[in-house]
Structure 1
Amino acid sequence: MVTRLFLCMLLLASANWTSAETQARSFDLNGVTELVFDGDITVKFTQADNAQAMVTLVKGDWDDVEIKQTKALFKVSGKTGFWNFWGSANAELEIKISVPQLSRLEMVGEVDFHGKSLNVGNLEIEMVGASYAGFSDSLNADNLDLDITGASKFEAHSLNAEAAKIELTGASNVVVSGSGSIAKLALELTGASNFEAASLVGQSVIAEATGASNIELEVSEQLKASLSGASNLRYGGSPKLNVNTSGASNVKAY
């Protein structure tokens, strides 16, 4: 009896050890410049010469996870949403990832992306659903294309670019908590979106807002704005103005 009990405990321990061992998988990301995450995924990002990823399965089964890697692309997807409603799949993942350069970042679903800083040339960021992307220090790019749809939020302490195009739809939010500078900035907000960047300086800014959207930033040279609905734009500085408003929208200096 004692022998059987000992064997059962040994088998159970072995099974648990094997299960724990297979919860994480590593990947060599040499050459990868595009990252796509889809599902319930927490990402800890670092810009470094060592290109690699460690994907950990926190909840669910690997059968509900799809990982695709090509020469430039690394994509991780976990079944969520509709599948969770029926209780058939609920993959929750944590990823630690580092690459030296990044040209595209896409997040769909409930992705929670955290990085300290990023310095790149051309960068496209697309967020759909209820995702979050944050850089606790700074994001610096030559050309930035940021497209957010749904209830997602992008946050950076400092944001700097030669040129940036930012489109927000639904209840999306962009927050720049510290300083920053963008030479040419194009903003397009619809729905109840918000662009909060009181200390960010845009040299030449073109802003369009509809619905109940809000924009706040500093402009040094030229501001061209077209607002409708109940949208608001508050700006600092003394730029040359070209403003059109309709409905209950307004443009005010602070």
Structure 2
Amino acid sequence: MRHRLLLDHIKRTFEDGGMQRTILDNLNLQVAEGELVAVMGPSGSGKSTFLSIAGALLEPTSGDVLLDGESITGKNKKELTDIRLRRLGFIFQSANLIPYLKVEEQLVLVAKMGGMNKSTAVRRARELLNKLGLTHRLHAYPEKLSGGERQRVAIARALMNDPAVLLADEPTASLDASRGMDVVRLLAGEAKERGKSAVMVTHDERILSLCDRVLYLEDGRLVEKQMVLR
């Protein structure tokens, strides 16, 4: 089984009033292709730090992050930007769509930044939007979309450059139960169909039954627990 994302003995510390605080402490994680993993934990437990390190936005104090078996630790700024653009797909709580770009344009911009020619980008954008049931919203601006539609556009945008890993930060927080379930089904489906590794930080217990594993961030480490899903 191939693990597209691997975090190996990750430690992250910082100075706070002359004291050294440890946020992540010998954290390990392997996510196989086709797998959707949920990460939970209370506020202040280090979930944002964890996701930033997994997403090449923050350097660990020690340890290693590997994408498809290749270490990304120690890469320079330009290399990390390229990794984030081509090999990682980010989905945020608020979708973070550009207000003055239409739906299709949101996707094409990301693809062009990744070096895809315009005709290929347009074709891929329309294929993804069709798959996600958004063809009728092709030329709509974000303000005209529902919350669920905006998140589906964000998922399509994250998939444009065919990343190895999908990272989602509270993607259902602003959605009702039905739309939240739909969004997570899409994430799980894309991971399985396209052989990607997906990690979702969430507080939303309603959607945990759709995940392959549920991990809890405790004392700087990820712990797997069995829980009864209602």
TM-score (norm 2): 0.31
Which protein has greater RCO, CA pairs closer than 8 Å, 6+ apart? 2
TM-score (norm 1): 0.28
Name the one with the larger strand percent: 1
Larger radius of gyration: 1
Name the one with the larger helix percent: 2
